[in-house]
Amino acid sequence: MSNIKIIFQLLCLLFISCSKEEDYFFNPSDSIFNSSLNITGTNQTLDLITWNIENFPKNNLTNLYVKQIIDSLNVDIMAMQEITDMQSFNNIIDSLGNHWEGYRSGGINSDNQELAYIINTENVELVSSPYTILNDNSYYFAYREPYVLEIKYKDIDFILINVHYKCCSGSEERRLQASSLLYSYINTFLDDMRVVVLGDFNDLLIDDNNVFQPFLSDMNNFYFTDYSIAQSSNYFWSFPSWPSHLDHILITNELFAYILDTQTVLVDGSLNGGLSAYDGYVSDHRPVMLKILVND
């Protein structure tokens, strides 16, 4: 058999194999999961997610994976970071059904890594469309100004603030300034409000020269609900490839009396292909979920 014929046959086999794999992944009736998630939302709780969904969409299969993950999470609101493509984001919203709405900061034609919300309006009432704050200090927030969402849940008002701090070593001062600015804003304009700040803060809660010092030094009024995750095994951290825990949820004292549960959603542990598939098709960050029990 000639070398050319052998190469041709190998290429045919490779094409058939790849076609079968693509058909499998694109078949919406197939589940990407091999087991249930470690935490999901309930009808009795206000369920919030922060999720850096890396450079969305990072793969041509990302939307398929994200759709199934959101369906399985059963949450009310997702605060998302790194939403790069508006059309793909809109496609996700459309695929979720009639009770879902999506909002993304930045212009409609922006291809930057923007902040976004996905909201299940079946249980949550939007008070207004999301808006950005601290726009005159955008440098300290890496030009991703905090994105605010005002909602009602069971006739109770909540303020959500979605953030994505500047990344990497050498930017600690910018992250510290971002914390200081946000701390002052909440105390000045949102005093006595039920505030939840959630996002990719790009820094450790337990650290020397801590960039969260403005909040950590005022524990009577602010609390990171994921602090116990930061103290625990790296198995539960939100950024497994380093590993480190960078995605946090901060609440004000108006929420201290509520029953709260915060966990990293170990999506990769329930996914066919594990962390490799999750990192390849979805993100390098895991979601972090806050469940708030609100009595009628």
54-70 pLDDT tens trace: 999 999 999 999 999 99
The CA–CA distances, whole Å, from 209 to 166, 176, 203, 214, 232 equal 16, 9, 11, 12, 20
**45: three-class secondary structure by DSSP:** strand
Q: How far apart are CA 261 and CA 116, in angstroms?
A: 23
* Contact (CB, 8 A) for 166 and 178: yes
Name the burial class of residue 201, with classes exposed (0-12), middle (13-18) and buried (19+) by CB atoms within 10 angstroms of its CB.
buried
pLDDT at 13: 31
User: Which residues, 6 or more positions from 240, have their beta carbon under 8 angstroms from its beta carbon?
Assistant: 234, 268, 275, 284, 286
| Per-residue model confidence as pLDDT tens digits over 158-192 | 999 999 999 999 999 999 999 999 999 999 999 99
Q: How confident is the model at residue 111 (pLDDT cuts 50, 70, 90)?
A: confident
pLDDT at 24: 37
pLDDT at 4: 41
Would you say how long the chain is, in residues?
296
pLDDT at 5: 37
**57: three-class secondary structure by DSSP:** coil
Give yes or no for residue 9 having a pLDDT over 90: no
- What is the token pair recorded at 52? 């850096």
User: Which residues, 6 or more positions from 227, have their beta carbon under 8 angstroms from its beta carbon?
Assistant: 205
Mean pLDDT value across the chain: 91
pLDDT at 81: 98
Any long-range contacts for 89-93 (C-beta under 8 Å, 24+ apart)?
Answer: 89/56, 89/116, 91/63, 92/63, 92/66, 92/67, 92/118, 93/118
pLDDT at 91: 96
pLDDT at 27: 62
Q: How confident is the model at residue 110 (pLDDT cuts 50, 70, 90)?
A: confident
Phi, psi of 248 (to 5 degrees): -125, 165
Residue with tokens 């095994």: 233
Q: What is the DSSP letter of 258?
A: S
| 126, containing H or E segment | strand 125-126
Closest Cα to residue 160, out of 125, 128, 194? 194
**58: three-class secondary structure by DSSP:** coil
Beta bridge partners, 156, equal: 153
| Per-residue model confidence as pLDDT tens digits over 128-163 | 999 999 999 999 999 999 999 999 999 999 999 999
Give yes or no for residue 20 having a pLDDT over 90: no
Residue type at position 5:
K
What is the domain partition of the chain in residue ranges? 38-293
Q: How confident is the model at residue 12 (pLDDT cuts 50, 70, 90)?
A: very low
Neighbours of 269 (CB within 10 A): 16
**9: three-class secondary structure by DSSP:** helix
Closest Cα to residue 125, out of 150, 147, 107? 150
If you average pLDDT over residues 264-285, what whole number do you get? 97
* Contact (CB, 8 A) for 283 and 52: yes
Q: How far apart are CA 88 and CA 96, in angstroms?
A: 13
Q: How far apart are CA 212 and CA 200, in angstroms?
A: 13
* Contact (CB, 8 A) for 214 and 180: yes
If you average pLDDT over residues 6-32, what whole number do you get? 45
pLDDT at 21: 38
- What is the token pair recorded at 248? 């946090």
pLDDT at 15: 33
Kindly report the CATH number that applies to the domain delimited by 38-293: 3.60.10.10
| Per-residue model confidence as pLDDT tens digits over 34-57 | 999 999 999 999 999 999 999 999
Q: How confident is the model at residue 30 (pLDDT cuts 50, 70, 90)?
A: confident
Q: How confident is the model at residue 1 (pLDDT cuts 50, 70, 90)?
A: very low
